[in-house]
């Protein structure tokens, strides 16, 4: 009788599955030309003189320089990293940051408008560090703007970068070009909103977002 050699089954050791590395945070920097403060200061002085305002008094001598630096600050958003995290728990309810302070400059008169923004989203595969909602708002607000465009830019950018199920942005602001000149409608505010994804198409989600921002649905 032919004997078959004894065979031993060798089990492969457990090999841990490789984790998918987290994507590197997107470094967000405002794309603008280099600021020439000296030229801005000269132009500010000429602007004041053209309006019949003398910069000879001691209290006014530094005004052109202060004007230049003030507008440079208003038009210079701080760079930041768009930090996101995996939505491991599958959280699918609204994330909302309310009453984020807003300041920007009206592109028609270069006068400021100030107010608050409410920014929310329905998470998809990733969630966003909460402070980044304020950073995104600052990124688009620190430039000559109109409120309608600002509202849509913030919403569209978050929709593209985060790929959530929905995004909502509401901005309420007071415009100096309306309250200090022209109509001089002191205390008047302007409200704008942009809703994307489920926050636009799903009635329940839309009503919840608007209710939490204090707006009628």
Q: What's the CA gap between 207 and 213, in Å, rounded? A: 10
- Determine which one of 108, 125, 148, 163 is catalytic: 108
Q: What stretch of H or E contains 62?
A: none
The residue from 41, 106, 138, 139 that is catalytic is 106
Among candidate residues 30, 109, 159, 174, the one labeled active-site is 109
Q: Known catalytic residue: 107? A: yes
How is the chain split among helix, strand and coil, in percent rounded to 5? Answer: 35, 25, 40
Active-site option among 30, 161, 174, 177: 177
Would you call 73 a catalytic residue per the annotation? no
Q: Which residue has the tokens 């599958």?
A: 90
Active site residue 147: yes
Q: Which of the following is catalytic: 138, 145, 147, 208? A: 147
Q: DSSP string covering 116-176, please?
A: EEEEEEE--SEEE-THHHHHHHHHHHSSEE-HHHHHHHHHHHHHHHH--SEEEEEEEEEEH
Which of these is catalytic: 46, 49, 73, 107? 107
Crossing angle, helix 147-162 and helix 131-141, to 10 degrees? 130
For the question of residue 108 being annotated catalytic, the response is yes
Task: Check: CB of residue 40 under 8 Å from CB of residue 72.
Answer: yes
* Residues marked as catalytic: 106-109, 147, 175, 177
């Amino acid at each position: 009788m032919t004997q078959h050699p004894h065979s031993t089954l060798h089990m492969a050791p457990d090999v841990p599955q490789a984790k998918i590395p987290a994507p590197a945070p997107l470094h967000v920097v405002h794309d603008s030309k280099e600021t020439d403060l000296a030229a801005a200061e000269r132009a500010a002085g000429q602007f004041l003189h053209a309006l019949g305002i003398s910069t000879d008094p001691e209290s006014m001598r530094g005004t052109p320089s202060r004007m230049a630096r003030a507008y440079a600050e208003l038009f210079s958003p701080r760079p930041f990293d768009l930090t996101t995290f995996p939505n491991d728990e599958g959280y699918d309810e609204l994330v909302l940051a309310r009453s984020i302070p807003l300041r920007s400059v009206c592109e028609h008169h270069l006068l400021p408008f100030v107010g608050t923004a409410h920014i929310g989203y329905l998470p998809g595969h990733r969630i966003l560090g909460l402070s980044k909602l304020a950073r995104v708002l600052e990124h688009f607000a620190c430039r000559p703007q109109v409120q309608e465009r600002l509202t849509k830019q913030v919403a569209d950018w978050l929709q593209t970068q985060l790929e959530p199920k929905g995004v909502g942005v509401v901005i309420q602001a007071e415009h100096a070009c309306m309250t200090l000149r022209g109509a001089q409608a002191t205390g008047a505010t302007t409200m704008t909103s942009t809703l994307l994804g489920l926050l636009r198409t799903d009635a329940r989600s839309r009503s919840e977002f608007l209710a939490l921002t204090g707006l009628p649905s």
